[in-house]
Chain A
Amino acid sequence: MSQCRECGATLPEDSRYCLQCGTENKPSAANAQPQKELDFLKPAIAGGLALAILSSIPIISAGNFFCCLWAQAGGGLAAWFLNKQRPGGLTYSDGAFGGVFSGLIGAFIATLISIPIQMLVFTPQRVAEIQARFEQYPMQPEVREMMLRFLSPGFDLTRVVITLLIYMIAFGLFSMIGGIITTAILSRKKLD
């Protein structure tokens, strides 16, 4: 498989034109060489750890409120490490896989880290403050009650399981996006 030099889309080896942007695909010596197999595990663990730690530290974790910024950063970190293994030869799907794996690993680690942090941070006084602030949010009482249940002090297995599910979906999705975007930027830099 080769890559379009203009938009970075994956092309079969003997294709003459790119279906995405129409650029003529001239085979190069680099494309003719067999590509090294990528190791996804280590980049995914690195990206997942970074994502989990940044998403768990109070105040810093607020970065996730901007389109899961730390999740995208974790996916981007995984893509960057993958690019180190195969400089300039990464496809968008490689970045996507690296991102998804790092998001899922990060979700597990972030859930584990959040258990003691929540028990420490969400003291009864803190919960009362948050409850008072939620009273000002224009939402139905049942919805408010459901949100507040997740902020209750102590350990709750149901909360941990639901947190894990939400993290897996959100982090997996946005890490994948971060991995794809980082791959596109790194490919573009190589083409330039």
Chain B
Amino acid sequence: MFQRVCLPQDLEAIRFRLLSDSKTFSAPNGEQHCNSTGQTPFPGPKSPRGLPQAGDAWSAKPFLNLTLLMATVAWCLAIVAAPYFHSGPIYLFFSAICHQLPTRSWHFQGEQLGLCIRCTSISLGFLAGQLAIRTPNVRWLGYAIVITAVEWLLATTVHDFELLRILSGVVLGASAAPIVRTGVVEMVVRIMRTAHEPM
């Protein structure tokens, strides 16, 4: 267990030092901290209102990842919910981001889905990327953008290959997912830190 109180503002530095296999380390303010078990330090004292301190923000990362994953699942379910529940508001919202052409959309129970095949594939690829890919890779995203652009050119000039449209959409969504997840989590952590900073 800790021999000194773990200060909230040192939490991030302490956490990374633990992961670097350091047994004895100095916090940025010079205090000595020892961790004989190598376990994650407890979050630290809470504010009088019961809110977590700024140092807790980074420890919320797994929760934020899960929240983003659930939001993506909800988005994908909404695509199918539009025809299933005959929901005008869902179709209306998706009409702002998709052409919703019937010839370019899958159908469910005789009605088209809320998004076209390409947009649906991107959404499903985004979901798959969140589940399967941990490390952001900008090079893969670049390749996926090029593939999608080439597929679009082929579809508008030569012939529309539905399978190619699906594959390019899935690859684009999957490669963008870890990058977007990193950015969203960092943004929320930053908001949490700013909100909990003492005035």
Binding site for B on A (CB under 8 A): 7-17, 19-21, 62, 64-68, 91-93, 95-97, 100, 136-140, 142-143, 146-147, 150, 162, 166-167, 169-170, 174, 176-177, 179-181, 183-185, 187-188
Contact of B138 among A10, A97, A136, A184 (CB under 8 A): A184
Contact B135 A7 (CB under 8 A): yes
Contact A181 B141 (CB under 8 A): yes
Q: Mark B19-38, 1 if CB is under 8 A from A, else 0.
A: 11000000010000000000
| Chain A, Cβ-Cβ closest to B61 | A19
Q: Which residues of A have CB within 8 Å of B111?
A: 138-140
CA distance A142 to B182 in the complex (A): 40
Contact A12 B135 (CB under 8 A): no
Contact B179 A181 (CB under 8 A): yes
Contact A93 B190 (CB under 8 A): yes
Contact of B187 among A97, A136, A166 (CB under 8 A): A97
Residues of chain B at interface, number, CB under 8 A? 48
Contact B88 A180 (CB under 8 A): no
Contact B13 A15 (CB under 8 A): yes
* A-B pairs with beta carbons under 8 Å apart, 15 shown: A11-B16, A13-B28, A16-B17, A16-B20, A17-B16, A20-B134, A20-B182, A67-B97, A68-B97, A100-B187, A139-B111, A147-B92, A180-B179, A180-B182, A185-B138
Known: A68-B97, A185-B142. A147 touches B137 (CB 8 A): no
Assuming A64-B97, A137-B112, A143-B88, what are 12 further A-B pairs, CB within 8 angstroms? A12-B13, A13-B13, A15-B12, A64-B96, A68-B97, A93-B190, A96-B186, A138-B111, A139-B86, A179-B183, A181-B179, A184-B183
CA distance A93 to B136 in the complex (A): 14
CA distance A130 to B135 in the complex (A): 46
Binding site for A on B (CB under 8 A): 12-13, 16-17, 19-20, 28, 83, 86-89, 91-93, 95-100, 102, 107, 110-112, 118-119, 122, 134-139, 141-142, 152, 176, 179-180, 182-184, 186-187, 189-190
Q: Which residues of B have CB within 8 Å of A142?
A: 86, 88
* A-B pairs, 7 with minimum CB distance: A180-B183, A146-B88, A92-B183, A15-B16, A93-B186, A65-B99, A96-B187
- Closest Cβ of chain B to A103, distance in Å, is 12
Of B16, B86, B134, most buried by chain A (CB within 10 Å of CB) is: B16
Q: Which residues of B have CB within 8 Å of A188?
A: 138-139
CA distance A36 to B122 in the complex (A): 36
CA distance A167 to B16 in the complex (A): 40
Contact B180 A177 (CB under 8 A): yes
Of B17, B86, B135, B176, most buried by chain A (CB within 10 Å of CB) is: B135
Contact A9 B182 (CB under 8 A): yes
Contact B91 A147 (CB under 8 A): yes
- Closest Cβ of chain B to A147, distance in Å, is 6
| Chain A, Cβ-Cβ closest to B135 | A21
Contact B12 A12 (CB under 8 A): yes
Q: Which residues of A have CB within 8 Å of B176?
A: 177, 181
- Closest Cβ of chain B to A149, distance in Å, is 9
Q: Which residues of A have CB within 8 Å of B17?
A: 14-16
CA distance A174 to B122 in the complex (A): 13
- Closest Cβ of chain A to B29, distance in Å, is 12
CA distance A153 to B54 in the complex (A): 52
Q: Which residues of A have CB within 8 Å of B187?
A: 92-93, 96-97, 100, 176
